[in-house]
Structures are given as C-alpha cells and as structure tokens.
Structure 1
Amino acid sequence: MFVAECNPELPRTVVLLHGGGVAGWMWKPVRAELGDEYRLIAPDLPGHDHSADEDYISHEQTLEQLRAMLAERTTGPVAIAGFSLGAQLALALASESPELVSGIVSISALAIPSRAPGFTRALLSSTVRLARNERFARTQARVLGVPSALVPDYLRTSDSISKATLLNIVAANGAFVPPPGWARFADAAIVLAGGREPRPVRRSAQLLQAANPRCSLELDSDAGHTLPFSNPALVARSIRAVTIGHGEAECPKLAQS
C-alpha cells in the first residue's frame, strides 16, 4: 500500500484516509490549511491510484493493512481523519483498536445499511465502464467538488480503478454499521457532514453522534458530499480539536452551521 508523508520530523501525527474513487491527493486542500502543524500520513488505499495494482477486497483486509502501517510508522496512538469510505475505516479502527487511535474526525460516513444491495451491485456492474470514461469522470469530479487543479489526479485515479475494487467498495460501504466498540471509544471524536448530502449520510451522522456520548456533530448546511474540498478549513479545525492534549482532553462542542 502506497503511503505519502508530510512533515515526518514533527511529533504529532494525523492519518488521513481518503474516500472511494479518490486517493491521498484529495487531502491537499486540508494539508494547506494545516500547514506545518502535524506529521501527516496519507495512504492510497488498495485499488486506488498508486495502490491500484492491488484490488480493494474488504474493509477487514484493509484494516489489517492499516494496522500494519501504523505499527511500522508510528510509536503510539494517532489522530485519524477519514472521508466517506475512509471515515468508515477510521470508525472501525477507533472501535476495534482504540489503543491505536487518540482522536477521530469522521466525514460523511454512511452508517446505515443499504436497503437493496443486490440491485445496487447489479446496476454498478452494468455501468462500471463509465468510471473510465473521461466525460463521465469529469462530471463526477464536479459533483464531488474536486478543485480544478486536482481534476487530473481524479481522472488518473478513476481510470485506474478495477471493476472488482469498485464493486467490493460498494458492497462494503453499503453494509457498514457502527461497530459495537464505537459507543465505548473514550477519546475525542467529531462527526462532520454536509447539509446537502444524501439523507442516509445525514442520518448516519446523527446516529454516530447519538451512539457515542463524547462525540460532537457539525453540519455544513451548504456542503454536499464535498467537505474536504468545499470546506477544508472546517476539516482542519476539527483535526485540531481532536488533537488537543493528544486526545486526552474533552472534545470541544462545535456550533451547528
């Protein structure tokens, strides 16, 4: 699994987990907001961009790879921020391996199982070639709010995704529910979502907050499934909030917006 690092000499570490169909490059706007405050670790998850030679198989297999990466590159618990697919992985890590996680920012995670996974999988299977169609990919980039400077990265990543990776991600994403350990995660946690996201994502954000009494929720009323691109300042502020006291302090409540 390809891993990019920024500021490796700094003591405080934040791991950034991207969403499905993008890659570690998606965090560039957030990295610009954070500047030189943190050591940042941004893997390309299996099946994506520089890790496209290995299909995405399942959340469970990817979690094992992430645990191995953390064991190799870090010496203590770290803050983790994840978007969409990456947020599901971050929530699972915080729930199942809390000793590895000092704080979490979950952005736009779906945590309500799909009502028709078989139909969705069949539909995607019939249209999977569109992911490699440049016109379609450019339309998807606009929907995600990808900045123009990053559109070439999006097109490259979209073109590299295999059918197996896409279908496995959709299956894993549509089956995800908050792990039992989420309610017991004792360190700082913030859930972010856009007010214009699909209703299941907004409901998921409320569910995640309700399940964990330490968790704060903030909605950006103007954002769709776009937050790391459309409001990187909010994401950066949330990362700072969960790293106060290296995850030992109470997470400050964020105002609704």
Structure 2
Amino acid sequence: MYVREAGNAHAPPILLLHGGGVAGWMWRPTLERLATKARVIVPDLPGHGRSAEEAYRSHETTAGALARVLEERAPHGAMVAGFSLGAQLTILLAAARPDLVTSAVVVSAQAKPLRFPRATLGLLAATAPLARQRWFAKLQAKQLFIPDELLADYVRDSARTSRETLLAGVGENIRFTLPAGWADFKNPALVMVGERERKLMHASARHIHDSLPGSRMISVPRCGHGIPLQRPDLFAQTLADRM
C-alpha cells in the first residue's frame, strides 16, 4: 500500500483515509490548509491510485493493513479522519485498535445497509467498463464534487480501477454495519454529514453518533457528499481545532 507523509514531521500525526473511487490526492486541498500544523499520513487504499495493482479485498483486511501503518509510523496513536469508505475504515480502526486512534473524525459514512445489495452490485457490474471512459469519468467527477484542479487525477485513477476493486469496495460500503467495539471507543469522536446529503446518510450519521456516547455530530451547511472537497477551509480547520 502506497503511503505518503506530508507536513511538519514534529507535529501531531493525522491519518487521512480517502473514499472509494478516488485516492490520497483528494486530500490535497486539506494538506495545503493544514500546512505545518500536522504530520499527515496519506495512504492510497488497496485498488486505488498508486496502490491500484493490489485489488481491494475487504474492509477487514484493509483496516488490518492500516493498523500496521500506524504501528510503524505513529505507534503512540494518531487522529484518524476518513471520508465515505474511508470513514467506515475509521470506525473499524477506532473499534478494533483504540490504542492507535487518539480521536476519530467520521465524514459521510453509510452505516445503514441497503436492503437489496445484489441488485445494486449487479447494475454496477454491468456498468463497470464505463469507468474507463473519459466522458463517463468526467460526469462522475461532478457528482463527487471533484474540483477542476483534481479532475485529471480522478480521470486517470478511474481508468485504472479494476472491476474487482469496484465491486468489493462498493459491496463492503453498502453492507456496512457498526462493529460492537464502536460503542466502547473512549477517545473524542466527531461525526460529520453534509446538509444536502441523502436521507440515508443523515440516518447513518445519527446512528453512528447515537451508538457512541460522548461523540459529537454536525451537519455541514451547503454540502452534499463531498465535505472535504466542497468546504476544504472548514474541514481543515475542524481537524486543526481537534489536535
């Protein structure tokens, strides 16, 4: 798994986990705004970006690999902030390895499984080849709030994402349920959801928040499913305030 570090080597560490279908480059606006305030650890998850050669298998195996990254690079723990699929991984890490997660920021995580996942995955399998088409990738980029300066990164990585990674990642995402250990996480936790996201995402955010006593939840105005890219100033400041 490709891992990049940026920022101040002597500052508190933050592990940033991107969503499905993108890669570590999605955090570039966040990194620019954090500047020297943090030491930021940014992996490309399996099957994505510079880790595209190794297909995504499961949340469980990926969370285990991320725990090893933290053991090596931040053995005393780090803030973990994740978006969408990465937010689900943040929850799993906090539940399984609270010793490595000093605080958790969960952004736009689905935590209510879809009722008919097979139908969704069947449609995805049929349309998967379109992801390699530039015109289709550009349409998807608009739905994901990819800014113009990151569009080339998205189009490039969309073309290299395998059908196996796409189906595994989406399958894990739409079936995700909260692990038992989440309710026992003792460190600070913030749940974020965009004001304009689907009802399912708002219900998920409420469920994540209600399941962890002491957590905070905020709805971010003027945002859909893309808080870090739609409002990078607010997101970076939110992380800085929790350091």
TM range (shorter): over 0.9
| More moved, 52-61 vs 228-237 | 228-237
Structure 2: gaps (5+ residues): none
Letter in 1 for 2:229: F
Q: What's the CA shift string for 1:205-240, capped at 9, x where partnerless?
A: 111111112211111131111111111122223212
Matched, 1:33 2:40: no
CA distance in structure 2 between the aligned counterparts of 1:155 and 1:194, rounded to whole angstroms: 24
What secondary structure sits across from 2:106 in the alignment? strand
CA distance in structure 1 between the aligned counterparts of 2:240 and 2:217, rounded to whole angstroms: 15
What secondary structure sits across from 1:30 in the alignment? helix
| More moved, 173-182 vs 102-111 | 173-182
Matched, 1:102 2:102: yes
Q: Does the 8 A contact of 2:11 with 2:37 survive in 1?
A: no
Matched, 1:167 2:188: no
TM-score by length of 2: 0.97
| More moved, 70-79 vs 20-29 | 70-79
1:55 — aligned with what?
A: 55
Q: What's the CA shift string for 1:76-102, capped at 9, x where partnerless?
A: 111000000000000110011111100
CA distance in structure 2 between the aligned counterparts of 1:216 and 1:170, rounded to whole angstroms: 27
Q: What's the CA shift string for 1:32-79, capped at 9, x where partnerless?
A: 221110000000000001000000000011111111111121221110
Letter in 1 for 2:39: R
CA distance in structure 1 between the aligned counterparts of 2:8 and 2:221, rounded to whole angstroms: 35
Q: What's the CA shift string for 1:149-190, capped at 9, x where partnerless?
A: 100000111011000000001110011111111111111111
CA distance in structure 1 between the aligned counterparts of 2:138 and 2:115, rounded to whole angstroms: 29
1:246 — aligned with what?
A: none
Structure 1 runs (4+) greater than 6 angstroms displaced:
none
TM-score by length of 1: 0.92
Q: State percent identity of aligned pairs.
A: 42
Matched, 1:206 2:202: no
Matched, 1:143 2:143: yes
Letter in 2 for 1:234: L
Deviation at 1:8, TM superposition (A): 5.3
Kindly report the root-mean-square deviation, in angstroms, between the aligned alpha carbons of the 2 structures: 1.1
CA distance in structure 2 between the aligned counterparts of 1:145 and 1:19, rounded to whole angstroms: 12
CA distance in structure 1 between the aligned counterparts of 2:241 and 2:205, rounded to whole angstroms: 18
> How many pairs are equivalent?
243
CA distance in structure 2 between the aligned counterparts of 1:213 and 1:237, rounded to whole angstroms: 24
CA distance in structure 1 between the aligned counterparts of 2:82 and 2:188, rounded to whole angstroms: 14
